[in-house]
A and B are shown apart, each in its own frame.
Chain A
Amino acid sequence: MLSIISKTERLAEMVSRLVSNLAAIILFLLVVLTCVDVIGRYFFTMPVVGAVELVRICMAGIIFFSLPAMFFREDHVIVDLVPFFRKGIIAWLVNLTLLAISIYIAIKLGDRIMAYAERAYEDGDTTEYLSIPRYLVVSFITLSIYAAALMTFIRLVVTASRPGEVASAELENKS
């Protein structure tokens, strides 16, 4: 059982690294896009058509590709003031509860966003200049949120298998 958990954790880590790399590449493309747009506009009077739409899509790529990795590593902004919640059995139980709540919220939110994606698909909604179907981006956001829920579930199982350990607090200690 423990070896399955450990293998799943390693697999999730690999997936996290992969999606983080994708987010990094999209970020680089965003830099290139904004520069090409400005240079094109001022030196060749030829700005990138639909640059604003592309920037928005890049943003979704950067944020929502990073989200599952962030949830897996529990790499959140945390107000870390009460040592009582950093280690020990109570901290562990609180951490498990918070992880379970995170999964529930992510699934509920994902369901609602998927409904928006379905509506965008049915309405044939597209972006103004490049006519990119909006349901593609909204579906991607939905997938990312479901992936974040799955990653949190894996973290929940890993945490449950190590009573008394709070992974996020240990990560902070190491850094």
Chain B
Amino acid sequence: MMISIIGFAAVLALAFMRMPLGLALGIVGFVGFAELSNYRAAISSAARLVIDSGQSYGLSVVPLFILMGLMVERGGMAKELYRAAYVFLGHRKGGLAMSTVVACGMFSAICGSSLATAATMSKVSMPEMRRYKYDDSLATASIAAGGTLGILIPPSVILVIYGLMTETSVGKLFIAGVLPGLIGVLFYLGAVTFVVRRNPKAGPVGDKCTWVERFVALRDVWTTLGLFIFVIGGIYGGLFTPTEAAGIGAAGAMLIAWRRGALSIKSAMDVLRETAVTSAKLFMVLFGALIFSNFVNRAGLPAGLMDLVTSFEVSPLGVIFIILLVYIALGCVFESLSMILLTVPIFAPLVEGLGFDLIWFGILVVVVTEISLITPPIGLNVFVLKGVLKDVSVKTIFKGVTPFWVADILRLALLTFVPALSLFLPSMM
């Protein structure tokens, strides 16, 4: 156990010195493994991991879903999604912020990245909210918080990585994310309502739309939403493996973008290149995380943690709460992927050993990660917005995000106490 703690500290030290995270994890994992066995065993195990993971069929969903998300982003579909939400919600108090949240939810359904969701929606919804004189803090917070839904509502790259690390079904994880994602949308709508009740000037009403306008707006988004239903429905109904669904999703997104005139051969090559490099970056960290995971398992960390928990006589649910608190604390300083890759190899065996479902735990981990995206001081989504909206201060965004953060904590508590919300849909597969 002690050697694992030293290893963890060494990873943190190297990472803070700006060593690439994958290398830091890999080096410490390798040295630790060699210390516990020998050099030859350590290098052989690392080489085998690189060969096998680098050609993993299951992991091929990663580049394909990244490609789908980037195509959707470049295809300019966010505008129609926002319009579709606006025609139904815009006339309410805080209606434009509500429309932003719903549009973020819809955009998340075809894009697996929170940062991309927040960046894209900020360009679409912020000008509208400014036009109606929305309070900057509410406007920006609704985008930052809504954007976090990107990693929970399937497809989600983070869930794929979690699935690989814990050997749980990616298809089931995707389906498990649907209800918690919808609950997230509802809770965020509640947060907007709370803000405009306290301060009606923060979110004035927009124009009321006729039913004809509503049908027209829905007609404009049917291809995009149809793609989501086809991809996720295909996984749920057992028609495709997640890899096949991702391939079809990427092809569908490419076709939609091309039909809209948003895709030339040059821009398609740009997106394909960006996807390949992003995937390689993720894989680099993944290789390191898997080598590190081998080391902590060999060092007996999961068993050691289990003994520790038993000696303190903490209830299993108490352990989950401690783990979630650790995640919230880590979320203050780490970005989402790093946090998951560092901690899942340590916590997942413990959680499984306590008799909990790893799919349920995966959803909790992703929800906590979502929280980290809007938690100071790092809150990446907040900084993405700051990057796009130079004239709004980080302080204003963090202030506006507070009710959404509280809504997230409430959702986390609900999902922790009612596992069925995450497990009901996957149990029907």
Contacts and interface: CB of A to CB of B under 8 A. Distances in A.
A86 interface: yes
Interface in A62-105: 62-67, 69-70, 74-82, 85-86, 91, 94-95, 98, 101-102, 105
A21 interface: yes
Contact of A24 (B246, B272, B338): B272
A160 interface: no
Given A59-B54, A59-B60, A138-B51, A80 B44 contact: no
A66 B280 contact: yes
A112 B45 CA distance: 10
A74 B20 CA distance: 9
B384 to A, nearest CB: 12
Nearest to A28: B272
A146 B184 CA distance: 46
Given A34-B246, A37-B244, A55-B243, A70 B18 contact: no
Contact of A66 (B46, B268, B269, B276): B276
A31 B64 contact: yes
A38 B248 contact: yes
Given A38-B247, A66-B280, A94 B60 contact: no
B211 interface: no
Contacts of B27: 101, 105
Interface string A30-55: 11111101100010000000001001
A149 interface: no
Interface residues of B, number: 58
A140 B375 CA distance: 43
A27 interface: yes
Given A20-B276, A81-B333, A141-B51, A31 B67 contact: yes
B240 interface: yes
A55 B281 CA distance: 19
Interface in B225-274: 239-240, 243-244, 246-248, 250-251, 254, 268-269, 272-273
A56 B57 contact: yes
B63 A30 contact: yes
Given A23-B276, A30-B64, A62-B63, A116 B244 contact: no
Contacts of B57: 52, 55-56, 59
B18 A94 contact: yes
B273 A21 contact: yes
Given A20-B277, A55-B57, A63-B279, A85 B16 contact: yes
Contacts of A150: none
B16 A109 contact: no
B6 interface: no
Contacts of A95: 18
Interface string A138-149: 100100010000
Interface of B: 15-23, 26-27, 30, 43-44, 46-48, 50-51, 54-57, 59-60, 63-64, 67, 239-240, 243-244, 246-248, 250-251, 254, 268-269, 272-273, 275-277, 279-285, 333-335, 337-338, 378
19 contacts: A20-B277, A23-B273, A23-B280, A28-B268, A31-B67, A31-B254, A33-B247, A56-B57, A63-B279, A77-B21, A77-B285, A77-B337, A81-B16, A98-B19, A101-B23, A105-B30, A108-B43, A112-B47, A113-B47
Interface of A: 20-21, 23-28, 30-35, 37-38, 42, 52, 55-60, 62-67, 69-70, 74-82, 85-86, 91, 94-95, 98, 101-102, 105, 108-109, 112-113, 115-116, 137-138, 141, 145, 166, 168-169
